[in-house]
Structure 1
Amino acid sequence: MGQEITTDHFTEQDIQVFLQRLQRETSELETWFADRVFSTRSPVAGYEMEAWLIDQNADPSPSNDAFLKTANSSLYTAELAQFNIELNADPASIQSNFLSEFEKDFQQNWNYCKKVADDIGCRVLSTGILQTLQNKHLSMANVSNLLRYKALNEQVLLQRQGRALELKINGRQSLKSTHHNVMLEAAATSLQIHLQAPQELAHHYYNASILISAPMIAISANSPFMFAKDLWDETRIPVFEQAVDVGGYNGAAQGPIHRVSFGTDYARHSLMECFTENVQHFPVLLPMCFTEDTSLMQHVSLHNGTIWRWNRPLIGYDTDGTPHLRIEHRVIPAGPSVVDNIANMAFYFGLVQFYAMHETPPNEQLHFSQARDNFYTSAQHGLDNKVSWPGCDRCDMRHLILHQLIDNAQAGLESLKLDADDIEYYLNIIQSRAEHKQTGSHWQREFVKLHGNDMQRLLETYYHNQQTGEPVHGWDFEIYR
């Protein structure tokens, strides 16, 4: 969905031409896998983080046009809503003091965003779901000025035959609301981690990402509230899954195939299986036709970009033009602080390396249906969840993280030859978060328990704490006025 398009209206002929080119490129992609043409450069990492622009009253500020013009940098892009932006990082090799360098780069990036926001009279905030968001903010009046988002809205409603989107979440409280456009998607903001891997290992990293999604979402949870209702530990998950509720062919949105989902299975032999599934099970959502040059994979990429697996395989290109394979790990919310974001990345890189390179492949350690159930129950219950795990039938999530997964992540990071001090520093943040049982979601709930369900007061105090740069496990509950 990062590709811009040149129209928001499509004909049946557009769909047929797009399908022909998509099928041609998919066949070419099969040849690439068979001939092993992908980059062997590994491991390489990157990230995207979606953030909020808020005004002085802590409400969403539809100002991303002004922000992007003032920032004047290719590292920042628009998101669906005018009150969201996306920060990007240049890819970096995972080696030596990569983590601390990533933090330094992230912090410089974030400081610049704060300055730009201040220059245009608003503020920038990192959180999973904006605490002060209201239904009235999710209107097409606030959609970003890019054709792809208007086209997405039109095509989703077309495939739904005009039926409204119904949001239904049962958590600590219940929420039901009706939406007549896709702007609900803008409510959920994420930290998306990218990991490039060589072809022969890429499906193992993909499967390992699936396996570890449950502990990743439990330890990083930062989205308990939506429209002032206390729902899941990570409410982004059901919000996003229902925001673009269209599925596969023949009405499969009501069946097992959904455009936003945990996926349907591990990749058994290669990531090509995901791209084959894309063509076989999902109708074209944005039939924008590009060049007929199959080597650019533009139609494959656009189609793949409208299928939002929580772990998504991507085709990209090295600087010399060699195609490469990446995993996009999409489960983590935008974090309470920069250092929390880096600690989440460190935990992911360590765990995914450990399980991808384990002598028993990830897909043989835990059945896919168990990994999927772990993910959704962990999104709902966070560190209080109990999961199935290799060698353990009903593991307490917090105990699992503290007594096994942190050690596994350390072993994974050590095998990548990262700096020992960096490994200790960032994994200690994960450990402290688990020991104190204070994720971003836990902190928000405790604040409300102490001070009442005032979302503006919650957000202002959250924002104040974020400015300190301290990790969330050390935040107190004093009201910031």
Structure 2
Amino acid sequence: MGDEITHSNFQASDFENFNRCLKAETRLLGKWFQEGAFSDRVPVCGLEMEAWLIDARALPAPVNREFLEKMNNPLVVPELAKFNVELNVDPAELHGKAFSRLFNGLQRTWNDCQRVAAGLDTRLVMVGILPSVSQQDLTLVNMSEMKRYRALNEQVLRLREGKPLMLDIHGREHLNILHHDVMLESATTSLQLHLKVAVGDAVRYYNAAQIVSAPLVAASANSPYLFGKDLWDETRIPLFEQSVEVGGFAGASRGPVRRVSFGTGYVKESLFECFVENEQHFPVLLPIAFDEPERQMRHLRLHNGTIWRWNRPLIGYDDDGTPHLRIEHRVLPGGPTVVDSIASAAFFYGLVHALATRDVAPEYQLPFATARDNFYAAAHHGLDAHITWLDGRKLPMQTLLLDQLIPLARYGLGLLDIDSEDRDLYLGIVRDRIRNACTGASWQRAWVTRRSRDMQALTEAYYERQQSGLPVHEWDT
């Protein structure tokens, strides 16, 4: 979805041509998997951070075009809404001081963004859902000025036969509204982690990423409020799933295979299974014609970019043109701070590596349906969730994290030869966050309990503490 397109008015022939190219590229990708034709320069980690531009009143500021022009930095790019941007960092080899390198890269870009935003009388905030955003902000007037986003909106509504999107979230309170475009998606801002893996190990890492999604989202939740309603700890999960609710071929908008989902099962033989599912089960949304060699996989990668599994396989290329495999872990919200984000990343990479390299594959111990149930329970209830782990026991999330998973992540980082100071610093932040039961979500709720349910005031208080750079468990309320 990162490429701009030249037009958004599509004919039947456009879909026919795109599907023909998609089939051909999927066949070629199948050969690559059979031949093992992927980069072995692994493991490598990277991340993307989505953020909000806000004004002096702590409301969304739809000025990303002016902001990006002044930034003039290829690492900072537009998002769906005019009040969102995405920050990227250069990938790092996953050993030594990898997390210090990620932190320094993200903090440097964040500081540059803050400076440029100040010149536009705006500010930058990283959070899963901006507390002060209203439904009236999420309209096509505030959609970024790029044809690909207009086309996405048109095609989603076409597949839904013009029916509005229904947002129905039961949490601590209940939110039920209708919305007439895809701009609800822009309220969900995330930290997306990338892990480049070898083709022979990809199945184990992908399934491990699915299994760890539950503890990761519970330990990092930062999206309790939407339109003033107190909902899930990570409301971003149901919001995103319902904001682009378009199914597969077996019924279009109400099909059994959804475009935003936890997936349909573990991978069995190779990640190629996901791309076969893409081609066979999901209608094309953006039938753009690319005049490039088949091996660039432009049609296949664009189609994959319109299917938002919470753990998504990606095809990319090394600097020398060798194709590579990445796993994109999409469950984490933005923020609360740069150091919190890198701590959550360290927890993910350590935990997923420890599980992926076990003698017994964890997917043999935990049924996929249980992993999926764990994920939604953790997103809903955060650290108060109870989930079933590999031994079949149901445990309180906080206990599981402190007693088993943080030590396991430390072990995994040791296997990766991560510098001991990096391990101690970043996993120590996760440990203290969990021990104090103070995620971004719980801090926001505590502030509201002590002060008021004024979402602009909450956003302002959150921004002020974010500016300190302290991890969220050290914030006062």
Place the TM-score, normalised by the shorter chain, in its bin. Answer: over 0.9
> In structure 1, what is the equivalent of residue 352 of structure 2?
352
Q: SS of 2:3's equivalent?
A: coil
- Aligned: 1:152 with 2:117: no
Residue matched to 1:397: 397
CA distance in 1, matches of 2:154, 2:342: 37
CA drift of 1:252 comes to 5.2
Whole-angstrom distance in 1 between the partners of 2:256 and 2:364: 22
Q: Contact between 2:129 and 2:188, CA under 8 Å: does it hold in 1?
A: yes
- The answer for the alignment partner of 1:418 in structure 2 is 418
What are the residue-to-residue correspondences of 1:189-268 with 2, within 5 Å? 189-251=189-251, 253-268=253-268
- Tell me how far 1:392 sits from its aligned partner: 3.8
State the match for 1:334 in structure 2: 334
Describe how 1:12-411 pairs up with structure 2 within 5 A.
12-251=12-251, 253-291=253-291, 293-411=293-411
Contact 1:21 1:292 in 2 (8 A): no
Structure 1 stretch displaced more, 171-180 or 245-254: 245-254
Quote the residue 1:435 is aligned against. Answer: 435
Give aligned-pair identity as a percent.
Answer: 52
CA distance in 1, matches of 2:4, 2:404: 44
Quick one: which amino acid aligns to residue 384 of structure 1? D
Alignment deviations for residues 410-433 of structure 1 (CA, whole Å, 9 cap, x no partner):
010000001111101111111101
What 5-or-longer segments of structure 1 have no aligned partner? none
Helix, strand or coil at the partner of 1:212: helix
**Higher alpha-carbon deviation: 101-110 or 378-387:** 101-110
Secondary structure class of the residue paired with 2:393: strand
Determine helix, strand or coil for the equivalent of 2:201: helix
The separation in 1 between residues aligned to 2:21 and 2:206, in whole angstroms, is: 26
Partner Cα separation in structure 1 for residue 414 and residue 232 of structure 2: 34
Q: Aligned equivalents of 1:75 and 1:440: distance in 2? A: 26
1:218: Cα distance to partner?
0.1
Range with greater deviation from structure 2 (439-448 or 250-259): 250-259
Structure 1 residue 393 displacement after superposition: 2.2
Contact 2:362–2:390, Cα closer than 8 Å, also in 1: no
How far 1:457 moved relative to its partner?
A: 1.0
Q: CA deviation at 1:19?
A: 0.2
User: Once the 2 structures are TM-superposed, how far is the Cα of residue 291 of structure 1 from its aligned partner?
Assistant: 1.9
Q: How far apart are residue 289 of structure 1 and its match? A: 1.1
**Secondary structure of the corresponding residue to residue 200 of structure 1:** coil
Cα distance per residue 1:134-176 (max 9 Å; x no partner): 0110110000011100000000000000000010000000001
Offset at 1:256?
A: 2.8
Provide the rounded CA distance (Å) in 2 between the counterparts of 1:90 and 1:337.
Answer: 19
Counterparts of 2:364 and 2:305, CA distance in 1: 28
Cα deviation for residue 102 of structure 1 reads 1.4
Deviates more, 1:79-88 or 1:103-112: 103-112
Contact map agreement 1:266 1:368 (CA 8 A) in 2:
yes
> Letter of the aligned partner of 1:320 in structure 2?
D
**Partner Cα separation in structure 1 for residue 267 and residue 206 of structure 2:** 7
Confirm or deny: 8 A CA contact 2:159 2:252 kept in the other structure. no
* Root mean square deviation of aligned Cα: 0.8
* Counterpart-to-counterpart distance in 2, 1:151 and 1:252: 17
Please state whether the residue corresponding to 2:200 is helix, strand or coil: helix
The residue number in structure 2 matching 1:459 is 459
| In 1, Cα distance between equivalents of 2:10 and 2:135 | 29
Q: Determine the C-alpha separation between the residues in 1 that align with 2:254 and 2:371.
A: 22
Decide whether the 8 Å contact of 2:88 with 2:106 is kept in 1: no
Given that residues 252 and 258 in structure 1 are in contact (C-alpha distance below 8 angstroms), is that contact kept between their aligned partners in structure 2? no
SS at match of 2:196: strand
TM-score (norm 1): 0.98
Q: Secondary structure at the match of 2:99?
A: helix
Cα deviation code 1:363-405 (max 9, x no counterpart)? 2121000000000010000000000101142111100000000
SS of 1:316's equivalent? strand
Q: What code does the residue aligned with 2:54 have?
A: I
Q: Structure 2: how far apart are the matches of 1:3 and 1:245?
A: 22
Distance 2:3 2:352 in 1: 28
**8 Å Cα contact 2:87/2:106 also seen in 1:** no
Is the contact between residue 15 and residue 284 of structure 1 (CA under 8 Å) also seen in structure 2?
Answer: yes
* Separation (CA, whole Å) in 2 of partners of 1:15 and 1:98: 43
Opposite residue 315 of structure 2, the aligned amino acid is I
Amino acid at match of 2:415: S
Amino acid at match of 2:360: T
2:123 is matched by which residue type in structure 1? R
SS at match of 1:49: strand
Alignment-mate amino acid for residue 60 of structure 2: P
2:416 partner amino acid: L
Deviations 1:316-363 (A, max 9, x none): 000110000000000000011110000000000000100111111132
C-alpha separation between the residues in 2 aligned to 1:332 and 1:360?
27
Gaps of 5+ in 2: none
Contact 1:221 1:233 in 2 (8 A): yes
Query: Which residue identity does 1:438 align to in structure 2?
Result: C
Distance (whole Å) between structure 2 residues aligned to residue 255 and residue 367 of structure 1: 23
Letter in 1 for 2:272: M
Q: Deviations over 1:415-452 (max 9, x none)?
A: 00011111011111111011100000000001101111
Secondary structure of the structure 2 residue equivalent to 1:369: helix
Code of the residue aligned with 1:105 in structure 2: it is: G
Q: Distance in 2 between matches of 1:35 and 1:186?
A: 39
Deviation at 1:254, TM superposition (A): 2.5
